[in-house]
Structure 1
């Protein structure tokens, strides 16, 4: 099976460096439609679907390989091996921010910058091992979320997706994310959700040497501002930029503010 088919890879643009966009849980590469085209004049642009999402080859989904985010990081590096040219700028939304960071840790010489859109290194509050850490959810909340998903995936998607999108005055965007969630294979989505919401990559943060922009929303149900602030304190060579926006998907609901922050970061980082 080719990587292009497996991950529904699309390449556009031209330039000596590559900009790769990796989407979050429940989404696909179409979520980058407001950002990715703006960079085609200066970069080789790669968009793709995580295996199990969008128009990827669902038969490639392997429960063992994707039992952790490292499997997705391996896929990302394979895609870069085949389709990238020059140094790489990695743009990852939500869980893909951590997927991208793991890839950069594994092959640091390949990456010159990483943009983390609404990231979280751990979604669960932890006051024991990491005093004061607020990821946004109690462990019991995550357990209940996963149990509800197991019992009724479509109902779970229809109720949670609009809250994740936020954008209270833009019902079309809320419906779009709901539709995206509902298009996913329920069994794959349940497994990916468990891997995502139970992941904890706080210990990996100091290992990342790639300059990073942490792009956080001021009001985010999934990744609260405290999660971004923690990343900024523990991720070397990072900077935090907070967008005044409600929701977890600023690249969709606040694309202009997102692109301005990314442009300023790249201008300073790649200069």
Structure 2
């Protein structure tokens, strides 16, 4: 299989520099990183890709069985790393991709040497002693709304997820990204995203890890960032002066600075 075409792999930056892999979240594609790439490309080799079913990926390669579990997305990450023969790359995952990166790093530790988790959440549902931000009933309603009218759900939820109502163009961009995703594929990815409980997987992380949380994020509240940080020994937690769940778009300078500071610390 042509992994480069399947996952729409794009490579930029310094060919001889350390490699940074950027991975998008639910309903998005690699274009979400367009404000981060220039900041990294001067000193690093930057690899972008789309999960199968997203963006410019080969939609014919999508299989519901594989992508109804988070390990399917993690396998995409491993496949990309193996195709490019990456060694000790830094994996930057946004939202659900942060946890896909955890699984990928555990499966192929020689490929991924460090993790940057941007607005991560290992579990979105509240339970005893844990605040994920949503009740089980909230998630059931969210998924029911998405499955009954995906385009309507996208138009309503994307601005909420993005935050920054004073900058409506950001919400519109995320809405357009959601709406560009095949509804049947989006339904499967949404269930995988919002119903997976990956808290135990955090215990497997041994690589240097940066956890980036936003000061205000309705999808991943700060209690989640604190939980992820506490669960990964030696991790670094940075609270960005950002609102919403997509700081790489809403606060790119702060996001890029935090990532670059972490990358420099690995040298």
> Retained in 2: the 8 A contact 1:15–1:41?
no
1:206 to 203, 206, 221: 203
Aligned pairs (5 A) from 1:164-175: 164-175=161-172
Name the counterpart of 1:247: 244
* Deviations 1:44-66 (CA, angstroms, capped at 9, x unpaired): 21101111111111111111111
Q: Measure, in 1, the Cα distance between the counterparts of 2:220 and 2:91.
A: 19
In structure 2, relative to structure 1, the CA distance for the partners of 1:203 and 1:86 (3 Å cut) is closer
1:257 aligns with 2:258: no
**Deviation at residue 215 of structure 1 after TM alignment:** 0.4
TM-score normalised to the size of structure 1? 0.95
Aligned to 1:81: 82
Contact 1:18 1:84 in 2 (8 A): no
Q: Secondary structure at the match of 1:109?
A: coil
* Count of aligned residue pairs for this structure pair: 266
- Secondary structure of residue in 2 paired with 1:64: helix
Say whether the 8 Å CA contact 1:17–1:86 is kept in structure 2.
Answer: no
* Residue 224 of structure 1, aligned match among 221, 241, 249: 221
Which residue does the alignment assign to 1:3? 3
- Cα distance between partner residues in 2 of 1:154 and 1:109: 41
Inter-partner Cα distance in structure 1 for 2:146 and 2:155: 11
Q: Which residue of 1 aligns with 2:69?
A: 68
Task: Kindly report structure 1 stretches of 4+ aligned residues shifted beyond 3 Å.
Answer: none
Cα offset, 1:38, TM superposition: 1.7
Following the alignment from structure 2 to structure 1, what is the Cα–Cα distance between the partners of residues 89 and 170? 30
Question: Of residues 173, 176, 197 in structure 1, which corresponds to 2:173?
Answer: 176
Partner Cα distance (1:232, 1:85) in 2: 26
5 Å-filtered alignment, 1:123-134, equals 123-127=124-128, 132-134=129-131
* Worse-superposed segment, 116-125 or 229-238: 229-238
Instruction: Check conservation: 1:49, 1:56, Cα contact below 8 A.
Output: yes
Tell me if the contact between 1:205 and 1:236 (Cα under 8 Å) persists in the aligned partners. no
Instruction: For structure 2, list consecutive stretches of 5 or more residues without a partner in the other structure.
Output: none
Deviates more, 1:87-96 or 1:258-267: 258-267
Counterparts of 1:111 and 1:237, CA distance in 2: 17
User: 1:135 Cα deviation (Å)?
Assistant: 0.3
TM-score normalized by the length of structure 2: 0.97
How far, CA to CA, are the matches of 1:45 and 1:84 in structure 2?
Answer: 14
d(CA) in 2 for partners of 1:103, 1:251: 22
Question: How much has 1:84 moved relative to structure 2?
Answer: 4.7
In the other structure, the counterpart of 1:28 is 29
SS of 2:110's partner is helix
